[in-house]
Amino acid sequence: MKSLTSRCGAALLLASALAACGGSDSGSLPVSGSIIGLNRAGLILSNGGKQLVIDGAPSSFSFPDLLAPDTAFEVKVDKSPDGQTCLPSNNKNKINYYTYSTTVITCSTEPFALGGTVSGLTGAGLALANGDNTVAILPGATTFTFPVPVPNGAPYGVTVLTQPAGQNCTVANGTAAKMPMAAVNTVAVTCVNKPA
């Protein structure tokens, strides 16, 4: 009986020692962090070969498995969402109470060119606007492109900021609820002379 008690006590002592040293059952810290700029579903992260699928567009993440202190971790982006590029930083370390939540996943939305055609422009001074993004168009021009590309998924609305001398210009196909994952060159600007 005494021998059995001694063996059980030794087993408990060994288990406690393993827990203190980071044994397999001693996990207490989640690998977690923040997400910046994510605006759609489809992000997949991994750590140690275990994947985490991010639903929606949250501002943080946390792997479900808890790690023991001093266990190495490295958070990777296995897949960025369509139309975005996500990169990790502060993502590789040994886990402890200071490092377990330091990973930052930063996502940027891929932009595409916005432009179109111009017809009938003879006067000087035409300027188009898409929000605060503007472009001046010279007389005789037949095409235009805004200098700043538009992130996919963002709305756009092209308007005439200033009319050219002696003419009125109108915009067709200039508004969309969402920029596609491709360049847009279908905005049509048509200019006509003002009545004499």
Using the CB atoms, write b or e for 132-153: b if 16+ within 10 Å: eeebebeeeeeebebeebbbbb
| pLDDT, position 196 | 78
| pLDDT, position 40 | 96
- Coil, helix or strand at residue 193: strand
Beta bridge partners, 76, equal 46
- Tens digits of residue pLDDT in 128-160: 999 999 999 999 999 999 999 999 999 999 999
Q: Is the pLDDT of residue 25 over 70?
A: no
Mean per-residue pLDDT over the chain, rounded: 89
pTM over the 0.95 mark? no
- Tens digits of residue pLDDT in 64-104: 999 999 999 999 999 999 999 999 999 999 999 999 999 99
- Tens digits of residue pLDDT in 152-186: 999 999 999 999 999 999 999 999 999 999 999 99
Find out whether 146 and 115 touch, Cβ atoms under 8 Å: yes
Find out whether 35 and 60 touch, Cβ atoms under 8 Å: yes
- Closest by Cα among 89, 71, 80 to 30: 71
